[in-house]
Amino acid sequence: MNDSDAPALRFGVLGPLRVWRHGTVVDLGPVQQRVVLAVLALQAGRPVGRQQMIDAVWGEAQPRNAVNLVQRHVSGLRRALEPDRPGRTPSDLLTWTDAGYLLTLPPGALDLDLFVRGLAHARTAQAAGQLQEAAAALHSALELWRGPVCDGLSSPFLDGQADRLAESRVSALEDRIELDLMIGGHGDLIAELRDLIAEHPLRERLRGLLMLALYRAGRQADALTAFRDARRQLHDDLGVEPSAPLQHLHQQILTADPALAPAGQAQAGTDAGARTSRRRVVPAQLPHHIPDFTGRDAELDRLDALLDQDGTGARNAVVITLITGTAGVGKSALALYWAHRVRDLFPDGQLYVNLRGFGPAGSAMEPAEAIHGFLEAFAVPSERMPLDLDDRAALYRSMLADLRVLVVLDNVRDVDQVRSLLPGSPGCVVLVTSRNRLTSLVAADAARPVELDLLPDAEAQRLLSSRLGPDRVAEEPASVDEIIKACGAPAGLGRRGLQRRRELAVAAFGAGR
């Protein structure tokens, strides 16, 4: 609107109540008279009955002379707004009708009308795909705000309208910021969003916009931190978890979803994501297994029975198997032998980590380090690697969603080492080995326990035959029995047990023979 087209009188309610005549502020009189004008301005073009006005200004605390006060304030407003109108001449601006007082304003005279018109224009432009025009319309509409509605005035009606319009303003801000993000802006919005969240800490949409702005600025870790802050605030203040849309955005950020790219880059990102998917890395981390594995037929049958007929494990949950037993009994050997035997059933990869649960004090691996290794095995670049354990675990579970992966967690100290490393989707199978029984893993996570005992003598003899040769074992059965007895017949191919056997075998059969 050109200055020459501007109305002679302009009314402002989006901030302190103001009226300008040809750019000069009009003195609107005492506070109560300004409240009456604020009510009329917020109802501009709609009649306000006398009792309705009294209720709007005073509520239940109505003075006895409320009718006279309203009439006096309306007369005062007419004089202030139309100082050049001849006395006893009817007003064309503030009139009395059968339905009540009516403030009639020309188009463009009230900032609230311009704001509403700007919102409508933005919606129309956005629906037509004109994002730049929609964003510009919202920027212009929001620039009309000078502060809270009718700031400094209070009444039952004004207070309610101020709350309603404040909500409308924040929603418009969210729409404007979302449009700015859609057309490529992000860095300049971060500080603004942080300020808005400080004012409105429970508005999840603002939280989501901040996460998106940070992510598009290349600050994935900060975006994930913003989600944790939102979750903590919601939990502390309301006792609830973030809404489904906010949690979905969190997952998209964790997995660097190409759909999060700005509108102009989304298709290119989708194409790149498809190419990356076709080149997806399939990890194969299983260490070599000792070829002459001996015995454990019953335990191998139990492990095989854990798989469905199609070999994928449970259809509705992750299959977790816990192999326990004393040191050197052959837990790792059994786990790796079986893992190699079924690896073809897990075409999306096999993950392995030695968690060093029973090494020297302080040497046990932290879960965050283990997940870091798993994510690297799936070629997650360092700039996408979350710093927080929970975020790493969430990205890890997202990477394994809908995949068929075998995960071997060897030499586990306690359940705390394991929980973050468990996939979240059916189709994955987890093998855990530990000297401890990890009863809470069985009770809470439905792990299937497989406890290893000492090898039977016959299988122990077969083991020694495979290592020393059948002729040598047949020549000196007494020495073989002594070795088995001295070793406590440790099972399978546990490395410590095997080393002990070798030492005893050397002593029993003579060094150098």
Residue-by-residue DSSP string for 459-493: HHHHHHHHHH-HHHHHH-HHHHHHHHHHHT---TT
Asked if 23 contacts 14 with a C-beta cutoff of 8 angstroms, the reply is no
Q: Do 489 and 395 sit in the same domain of this protein?
A: no
Torsion from C-alpha of 158, 161, 163, 164, nearest 10 degrees: 180
Q: 403 and 478 share a domain?
A: no
Residues 334, 348: one domain?
yes
Q: Is residue 12 domain-shared with residue 33, that is, in the same domain?
A: yes
- Other Cβ atoms closer than 10 A to 239: 7
Are 153 and 4 in the same domain?
Answer: yes
Which of 451, 477, 497 is the endpoint of a domain? 451
The domain boundary residue, chosen from 183, 218, 245: 183
What parts of the chain have a pLDDT lower than 50?
Answer: 266-279, 309-310, 489-513
Q: 409 pairs with which residues across the strands?
A: 353, 432
Residue 267 resides in a domain: no
Gap between the Cα atoms of 96 and 51, Å rounded: 14
Residue 509: its pLDDT value, please?
A: 46
- What CA–CA distance (Å, rounded) separates 210 from 162? 26
Q: Do 130 and 14 sit in the same domain of this protein?
A: yes
Domain with 395 in it: what CATH number?
3.40.50.300
pLDDT in tens, 469-511: 677 766 777 776 677 666 654 444 444 444 444 444 444 444 3
Phi-psi region of 48 (alpha: psi -120 to 50; beta: other; left: phi over 0): beta
Exposure string for 414-429, b = 16+ CB within 10 A, e = fewer: ebebbebbbbeebbbb
| Three-state secondary-structure class, residue 8 | coil
C-alpha to C-alpha distance for 49 and 351, rounded to whole angstroms: 76
Instruction: Give, in degrees to the nearest 5, the angle at Cα 365 between 361 and 371.
Output: 170
In a domain? residue 214: no
Q: Choose among 115, 137, 111: nearest CA to 124.
A: 137
Alpha carbon distances (Å) from 230 to 189, 243, 303? 18, 10, 43
CB-CB contact of 325 with 435 (8 Å): yes
Copy the structure tokens of residue 288: 């070599």
- Record the pTM: 0.61
In a domain, 225, yes or no: no
Residues 377 and 489 both lie in one domain: no
Question: How many independent structural domains does the chain possess?
Answer: 3
CA 252 to chain centroid: 8
CB 429 within 8 A of CB 319: yes
| pLDDT at site 388 | 82
Q: What is the CATH number of the domain that holds 162?
A: 1.10.10.10
445 and 474 share a domain?
no
Q: What are the residues facing 320 on neighbouring strands?
A: 430
Residue 139 domain flag: yes
CB-hemisphere CA count at 13 Å for 369? Answer: 9
| Backbone phi, psi, residue 468, to 5° | -100, -15
Q: Please indicate, yes or no, if residue 58 is contained in any of the structural domains.
A: yes
Q: What is residue 511's predicted lDDT score, i.e. its pLDDT?
A: 37
**Domain-embedded: residue 233:** no
Please give the single-letter amino acid code of residue 353: V
The radius of gyration of the chain from alpha carbons, rounded to an integer in Å, stands at 38
Shared-domain flag, residues 39 and 126: yes
Is residue 371 in some structural domain?
yes
Contact 332, 410 (CB under 8 A): yes
Query: Of 183, 198, 223, which residue sits at a domain end?
Result: 183
The token duo for 277 is: 């998917």
467 and 487 together in one domain = yes
Q: What are the start-end ranges of the H helices in 282-420?
A: 297-305, 331-342, 367-377, 389-400, 415-418
Whether residues 479 and 390 fall in one domain: no
Residues 476 and 435 in one domain: no
Domain around 469: 457-509
Q: Which helix (H) or strand (E) holds 232?
A: helix 220-238
Classify residue 285: in a domain, yes or no.
Answer: no
Contact 469, 309 (CB under 8 A): no
